[in-house]
Amino acid sequence: MTTFGFLATNGNSQVLISSKTKNLHFLGKATLYSTLQSHEGRGGIRRWAYRIDSTGTPVPFFSVPTADRYAIVRMTKVTGITWEIEVIRSGTSGSVPEVYVFTEITGQHRPTGAWGMQVLNEIDSTPAYDSRLKPLVVRGGTNVTPPYDPMTSLPTGLSPRYCSTNADGLFVPNNYSSTVVYNTNVTKPIVCYQSVAQTMRQVDVNESSERCWGFKVFGNCVGFEGKKSWDSHYWTFFRAGVSAEQSGPHSYINTGWISVDYGCRNEEKESDSFIGIGYDDDSSAAGNWPFSNLTINLTSVSLIVSDGVLYD
Amino acid sequence: MIKPYTIISTRQEVSGTGVDFSVTVRTMVDEPGFKDVKLSTSKSFIFVPEGEDIDNYLHNCLLNSGWIAQ
């Protein structure tokens, strides 16, 4: 154990700066690279890719310009030092979030003044903190979990025939859980939250008809009989996301779901018989779908709130 | 009481029970020249929070969603 170094704590004895650790500093805002997905139904779906050059591993925060739910779903190094960060959002607003990127101090960080306070790491003497480099100021944090079900009611009125119902208004993720992060006192909340939980909801609707061209004796058809069935499987896939709204000194967080993929599969079967003698084949199916009506990775995920105006 | 739904399976989840269920409606169509029996079946899933009665919760959910009538 070292007997020298630097340690600054707050009133709750939480570490603010330490020569034993490395602090995150603002690198810059990632640039909007492309819109990967846009859909107006199912609560609204937006997916964007942002890019930034960073020699360190980026820690992204996003702004929340609307009351919709947001999340980071992917972060990959695409080439050299270029990182791509994917952000999803519910809702249909044209507003696009800003992505603020923080890393440990690297050669990319440029001091904004000639004086300030610098703390060196006591192991390798690299800068651990530099007041001239816009260090990350954490204004609050909590753990959040979405509710198990993404919707508070079941989709209804779905047609079994040929997926002919537009289910955009029926699979709308409206269920969420609420958390308050007290005394954040931020002007422009920016949030670090990675989507971990996933869920899928499916409604299977079937219609089958037996038609007898003739007459029935004790329930049996004498004459031509036709059986026909239609199946449609409507589904939507969701990822967890958060909204963050500032009211007075507190940040109000709702954790819910964002639609990210959807579709429908349909089947049609027909069989005929004459005086009870079938002359068309039946079919059968069994087993489970690989991932159906299931919520996975439903664990507490940490959420950090900072203030975007410190870095604008 | 005849339940207007069938519970296909249940599974224990964190803080509740996952319930797969189906609802079937049978309609008789009797027209000159043929008889038509139409069956409409819908299957889906709900999550029943811990402490709730599964049958009551499912029944109310189906009523509120319009899957079954009062």
Q: Tell me the average pLDDT across B38-65.
A: 91
| pLDDT confidence tier of residue A283, bands split at 50, 70 and 90 | low
Q: Do B37 and A154 touch (CB under 8 A)?
A: no
Q: Do A202 and B67 touch (CB under 8 A)?
A: no
Of A160, A202, A209, the CB nearest to B44: A202
Nearest of A109, A132, A127, A104 to residue A6 by alpha carbon:
A127
Distance CA A192, CA A136 (A): 12
**Is A273's pLDDT higher than 70?**
no
Q: What is the pLDDT of residue A250?
A: 97
Q: Do A211 and B35 touch (CB under 8 A)?
A: yes
- pTM of the shown model: 0.88
Closest approach of B31 to chain A, Cα-based (Å): 10
Q: Tell me the average pLDDT across A205-222.
A: 75
Distance CA A79, CA A53 (A): 9
Ranges A163-177, A223-237, A296-310, B9-23: which has the least confidence? A223-237
Q: What is the pLDDT of residue B32?
A: 57
Q: What is the pLDDT of residue A5?
A: 82
Ranges A40-49, A105-114, A161-170: which has the least confidence? A105-114
CA distances from A181 to A63, A76, A95, A184 (A): 16, 30, 24, 7
| pLDDT > 90: percent of chain A | 64
Nearest of A227, A235, A276, A237 to residue A260 by alpha carbon:
A237
Q: Tell me the average pLDDT across A78-91.
A: 97
Residues in chain A with CB shorter than 8 Å from the CB of B41 are 205-208
**Is A307's pLDDT higher than 90?**
yes
Of A202, A203, A216, the CB nearest to B35: A216
What are the structural domain ranges in chain B?
Answer: 6-65
Q: What is the pLDDT of residue A279?
A: 55
Q: What ipTM was reported for this prediction?
A: 0.85
**Is A244's pLDDT higher than 60?**
yes
Is the distance from CB of A125 to CB of A8 less than 8 angstroms? no
CB atoms within 10 A of CB A283: 9
B30-48: pLDDT as tens digits: 655 556 777 889 999 999 9
Q: Which residue has the higher pLDDT, A14 or A35?
A: A35
Of A160, A211, A214, the CB nearest to B36: A211
Distance CA A47, CA A282 (A): 43
For residue A156, report the phi and psi dihedrals to the nearest 5 degrees: -135, 160
Distance CA B36, CA B54 (A): 35
Nearest of B25, B23, B14, B11 to residue B54 by alpha carbon:
B11
Q: Do A293 and B44 touch (CB under 8 A)?
A: yes
Q: Tell me the average pLDDT across A219-227.
A: 72
Nearest of A242, A236, A243 to residue A260 by alpha carbon:
A236
- Residue of B47, B48, B50, B64 to mutate, testing the A interface (most A Cβ within 10 Å of its Cβ): B47
Nearest of A85, A108, A83 to residue A25 by alpha carbon:
A108
Q: Do A156 and B46 touch (CB under 8 A)?
A: no
Residue B57: enclosing H or E segment and its boundaries?
Answer: helix B54-65
Q: What is the pLDDT of residue A227?
A: 79
Q: Tell me the average pLDDT across A32-47.
A: 97
